[in-house]
């Protein structure tokens, strides 16, 4: 022992150890102080400690080696080797830390997702362009709170002008509507929206006097870039929105083309009454679309009509009238009597202003929603985008039409573009998730739908789609039940689009999927029946559940009554092609016919429904009716035909109605379950990748 101590002293090993420990301690103390000052992550200090530990071992080897040679001088080569070893050691620890962090986060996210089906995925960091802006809701400072429409309308007009600037990223109104007018956390809001600047404003209206205050803020450092007040009267307020947009462009050093300068300077009307009525119409139209309210649609249309009566040359009012009538038709009344008026308004807008993007948008939706003429619709939407490359409504129209044509990958790309400027748009996120579901890309679908519900937890359209994703994509009944707890409101008219899920609805389908047939039937005890349509909805759903559960005998009297009602509804709407009562009545009638044992009639009406939405013309909704026909055939004894249709559906993008999990678990397919061809189909697609999107219309 004495000899070892003498050798250690001769090699000065003790001095080396003490010197190294002193150096390491001083270094760690210094790094700790700096790390606290600059909020460095703890991971950095752990890497340093690990590297110093490796260095300690290397130091001992060098001290022993040089002491044996009788010299304590370390060469330059050895210093380089020591540095490399320290770097490698630190790199190994960093990689380990990253791996542990990622695996821990993934485990945490998986556990959270299992506990809560609405748990959202971590946000992805996206670079924020300097030339980007969000316009927050303008504050209404008027004593009369009824003047709030004026502040809303002024914000929208300014936002529209800014959106016409091609070199500027402008966040949509939908994504900013939920924020306050002058929030304290501007930096956080800007990061959520992906912008560098925020435009705030207030409007005070008293009689014909209007005061508008606006300020542009760099949200990254809370620096005010520009601010101005506009004291105007109603008869000279025209053009303020263009002036504001021009000042914003100048402040952000955005280069404007000649066409953009003319667009900013353009004034839609110089009639004060027409201007006021138009702003009221804009507010009511947005409210109507948010709530899908027929009364608000009618009120908005009346204000646009008043604006037009005061200024017959008001092209923008005509365009907005045409678009609002079409949204009322599609989301509200489904009354085809509305279509001629919508077409006339859009045509008049184009006659007055051939280069008005809003007029082309209105006409595009007339051809899409009103006539299902996809070629004409695409032509109008593309023309709108030529005139206004950032027009969100035109891009939405294109995405929706592309899905009808089976161009699902193009639609996904369009949704990604739109979400860049409308990141908190619940409708876009819902449609984005729905498109992923079509392609059987269920994890991506779930993520987008969770984002939509994080914005609006009561958004029933997203709940519909998420329940389908959880059941058909994952077989997750518990997760699906969590989505409908508490129960969403009943929707009982025009809800069926060709297959069993829509006949029964979101509230009861998880129970049917789980073979809890009594619970599924009892769910309809609370369904409203104050109108004939509501009564038909409730009893048709019960008839379908009874068929799947093998309890047809219990529903014979109800099905006989339903038969006459549904026959009359189908005859009344013969020849109409729309996703409303005719389609609902035909699908419901198919299940009622099966309930009554009228199998040939059931198959005939299901084929008739499919003929209204053939796949070659409508790849988006056609597969619902193809699925509905397969379901009817399975229960009406035409098993060979049903299996052939399932083979076709599994080979195409149809993930919102046909999937391996649904074929395995859903009792609607029980009549086919023992068939060897059905089992072979399941085996063929077990673990398969999602079906590829078609480049054109589906077969």
DSSP-based three-state secondary structure for 294: helix
Question: In this structure, is residue 299 part of a structural domain?
Answer: no
Residue 413 within any structural domain of the chain: no
Percentage of the residues of the chain whose pLDDT score is greater than 90: 64
Mean pLDDT, range 158-181, rounded to an integer = 91
Instruction: Give me the residue label for tokens 């949509």.
Output: 172
pLDDT given for residue 204 in this prediction: 93
Angle between the 426-438 and 408-421 helix axes, to the nearest 10 degrees? 160
Q: State the average pLDDT over residues 222-233.
A: 92
Distance CA 230, CA 228 (A): 7
Band of residue 110 on the pLDDT scale cut at 50, 70, 90: very low
Q: 675 and 643 in contact (C-beta within 8 Å)?
A: yes
DSSP 8-state assignment for residue 329: I
Q: Is 644 inside a domain boundary?
A: yes
DSSP 10-35: HTTHHHHHHHHHHHHHHHHHHHHHHH
Please report the pLDDT score of residue 693 as a whole number: 37
What pLDDT was estimated at residue 66?
63
Domain identity same for 61 and 208: no
Report the chain's mean pLDDT, rounded to a whole number.
85
| pLDDT given for residue 106 in this prediction | 45
What are the tokens at 57? 């071992």
Query: Which residue's structure tokens are 């052939």?
Result: 644
Average pLDDT for 174-199: 91
State how many domains the chain has.
3
- Which of these three, 236, 251, 267, is where a domain ends? 267
The domain that contains 566 carries what CATH number?
A: 1.25.40
Within this chain, do residues 129 and 71 fall inside the same structural domain, yes or no?
Answer: no
How far, in Å, CA of 300 to CA of 446, rounded?
35
**pLDDT at position 17:** 66
pLDDT band at 292 (very low <50, low <70, confident <90, very high): confident
Mean pLDDT of the 491-509 span: 83
Answer whether residue 440 is part of any domain: no
Would 234 be classed as within a structural domain? yes
* Phi and psi, residue 209, nearest 5°: -95, 135
If you average pLDDT over residues 288-314, what whole number do you get?
91
Round to whole Å and give the CA distance between 325 and 81: 77
pLDDT of residue 82: 52
- Whole-angstrom Cα distance, residue 635 to residue 603? 10
| pLDDT recorded at residue 389 | 87
CA distances from 404 to 610, 649, 696, 698 (A): 15, 16, 10, 9
Position 394 in a domain: no
Q: What is the pLDDT, as a whole number, of residue 538?
A: 95
pTM: 0.79
* Domain match, 104 and 129 both: no
Residue 146's pLDDT band, with cuts at 50, 70 and 90, is: confident
- Binned at pLDDT 50, 70 and 90, residue 464 comes out as very high
Residue 75 CA to residue 484 CA, distance in Å, equals 73
Q: Is the dihedral of CA 7, 10, 15, 16 positive or negative?
A: negative
Q: Which residues pair with 386 in a beta bridge?
A: none
Q: Which of 691, 693, 668, 689 is nearest to 678 (CA)?
A: 668
In tens, the pLDDT along 44-93 reads 556 667 666 776 676 666 665 666 555 555 555 555 555 555 555 555 55
pLDDT at 554: 92
* Among the ranges given (18-32, 106-120, 181-195, 335-349), the one the predictor scored with the smallest mean pLDDT: 106-120
> Which domain range does residue 252 map to?
125-267
Do residues 670 and 528 both lie within one domain? yes
pLDDT band at 113 (very low <50, low <70, confident <90, very high): very low
Same domain membership, residue 50 and residue 74: yes
pLDDT bracket for residue 431 (50, 70, 90): very high
48 with 28: CB under 8 angstroms? yes
Tell me: do 109 and 129 sit in the same domain.
Answer: no
Most distant pair of Cα atoms in the chain: their distance: 112
Q: Are residues 57 and 144 in the same domain?
A: no
List Cβ neighbours of 518 (8 Å cut-off, separation of 6 or more). none
Res. 633: pLDDT tops 50: yes
- 175 or 691, greater pLDDT: 175
Together in a domain, 200 and 247: yes
Instruction: List pLDDT tens digits, range 567-586.
Output: 998 887 665 444 445 778 89
For residues 158 and 261, membership in a common domain is answered with: yes
Residue of 502, 538, 503 lying closest to 523 (CA atoms):
538
Round to whole Å and give the CA distance between 377 and 572. 28
> What pLDDT shows up at residue 127?
80
597 plus 511 within the same structural domain: yes
Say if 345 falls within a structural domain: no
Q: How confident is the model at residue 290 (pLDDT cuts 50, 70, 90)?
A: confident
Q: End of a domain among 245, 267, 289?
A: 267
pLDDT at residue 298 tops 80: yes
- Identify whether 73 is part of a domain: yes
Q: With 50 as the cut, is the pLDDT of residue 451 above it?
A: yes
- Residue 393 pLDDT grade (very low, low, confident, very high; cuts 50, 70, 90): very high
- The CATH number of residue 193's host domain is 3.40.50.10070
Q: Are 361 and 381 in contact (CB under 8 A)?
A: yes
Q: State the Cα–Cα distance between residues 86 and 84, nearest whole angstrom.
A: 5
**In Å, how far are 6, 217, 500, 524, 672 from 483, measured between CA atoms?**
76, 40, 19, 18, 30
Domain boundary among 95, 115, 135: 115
Same domain, 106 and 144: no
Where b means 16+ CB within 10 Å and e means fewer, 243-274 reads bbbbbbbebbebebeeebeebbeeebbebbeb
Percent of the chain's residues with pLDDT above 70 = 79
Q: Do 50 and 78 have their domain in common?
A: yes
């Amino acid at each position: 022992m004495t000899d070892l101590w003498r050798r250690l002293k001769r090699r000065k090993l003790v001095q080396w150890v003490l010197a190294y420990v002193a150096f390491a301690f001083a270094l760690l103390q210094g790094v700790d102080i700096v790390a606290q000052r600059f909020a460095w992550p703890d991971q950095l200090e752990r890497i340093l400690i690990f590297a110093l530990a490796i260095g300690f071992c290397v130091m001992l080897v060098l001290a022993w080696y040089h002491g044996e040679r009788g010299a304590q001088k370390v060469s330059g080569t050895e210093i380089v080797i020591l540095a490399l070893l320290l770097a490698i050691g630190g790199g190994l620890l960093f990689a380990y830390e990253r791996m542990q962090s990622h695996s821990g986060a993934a485990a945490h996210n998986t556990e959270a997702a299992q506990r809560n089906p609405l748990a959202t995925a971590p946000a992805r960091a996206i670079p924020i362009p300097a030339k980007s802006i969000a316009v927050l809701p303008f504050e209404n400072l008027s004593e009369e709170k009824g003047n709030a429409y004026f502040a809303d309308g002024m914000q929208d007009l300014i936002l529209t002008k800014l959106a016409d600037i091609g070199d500027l990223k402008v966040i949509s109104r939908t994504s900013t509507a939920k924020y306050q007018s002058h929030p304290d956390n501007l930096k956080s809001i800007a990061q959520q929206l992906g912008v560098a600047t925020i435009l705030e404003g207030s409007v005070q209206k008293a009689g014909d006097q209007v005061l508008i205050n606006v300020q542009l803020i760099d949200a990254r450092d809370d620096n005010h870039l520009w601010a101005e007040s506009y004291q105007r009267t109603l008869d000279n307020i025209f053009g303020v929105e263009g002036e504001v947009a021009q000042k914003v462009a100048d402040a952000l050093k955005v280069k404007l083309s000649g066409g953009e300068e003319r667009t900013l300077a353009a004034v839609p009307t110089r009639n004060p009454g027409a201007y006021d009525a138009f702003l009221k119409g804009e507010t009511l139209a947005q409210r109507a679309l948010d709530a899908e309210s027929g009364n608000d649609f009618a009120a908005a249309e009346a204000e646009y009509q008043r604006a037009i009566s005061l200024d017959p040359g008001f092209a923008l009012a005509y365009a907005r009238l045409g678009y609002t009538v079409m949204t009322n038709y599609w989301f509200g009344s489904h009354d085809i009597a509305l279509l001629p008026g919508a077409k006339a308004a859009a045509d008049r807008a184009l006659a007055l202003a051939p280069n008005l993007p809003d007029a082309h948008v209105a006409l595009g939706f007339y051809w899409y929603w009103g006539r299902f003429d996809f070629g004409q619709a695409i032509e109008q939407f593309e023309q709108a985008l030529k005139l206004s490359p950032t027009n969100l409504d035109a891009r939405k129209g294109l995405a929706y039409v592309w899905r009808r044509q089976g161009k699902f990958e193009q639609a996904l790309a369009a949704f990604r573009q739109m979400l860049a400027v409308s990141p908190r748009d619940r409708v876009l996120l819902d449609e984005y998730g729905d498109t992923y579901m079509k392609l059987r890309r269920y994890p991506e679908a779930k993520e987008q739908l969770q984002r939509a519900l994080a914005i609006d937890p009561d958004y029933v359209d997203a709940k519909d789609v998420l329940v389908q994703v959880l059941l058909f994509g994952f077989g997750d009944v518990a997760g699906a039940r969590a989505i409908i707890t508490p129960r969403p409101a009943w929707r009982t008219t025009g809800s069926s689009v060709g297959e069993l899920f829509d006949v029964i609805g979101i509230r009861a389908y998880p129970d049917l999927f789980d073979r809890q047939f009594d619970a599924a039937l009892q769910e309809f005890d609370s369904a409203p029946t104050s109108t004939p349509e509501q009564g038909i909805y409730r009893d048709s759903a019960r008839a379908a559940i009874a068929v799947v559960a093998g309890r047809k005998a219990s529903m014979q009297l109800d099905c006989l009554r339903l038969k006459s009602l549904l026959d009359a509804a189908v005859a009344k709407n013969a020849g109409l092609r729309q996703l409303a009562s005719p389609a609902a009545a035909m699908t419901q009638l198919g299940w009622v016919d099966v309930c009554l044992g009228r199998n040939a009639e059931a198959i005939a009406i299901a084929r008739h429904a499919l003929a209204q939405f053939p796949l070659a013309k409508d790849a988006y909704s056609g597969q619902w009716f193809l699925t509905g026909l397969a379901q009817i055939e399975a229960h009406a004894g035409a098993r060979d035909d049903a299996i052939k249709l399932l083979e076709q559906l599994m080979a195409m993008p149809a993930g919102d109605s046909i999937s391996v999990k649904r074929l395995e678990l859903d009792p609607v397919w029980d009549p086919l379950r023992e068939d060897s061809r059905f089992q072979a189909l399941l085996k063929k697609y077990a673990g398969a990748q999602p079906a590829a999107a078609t480049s054109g219309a589906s077969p």
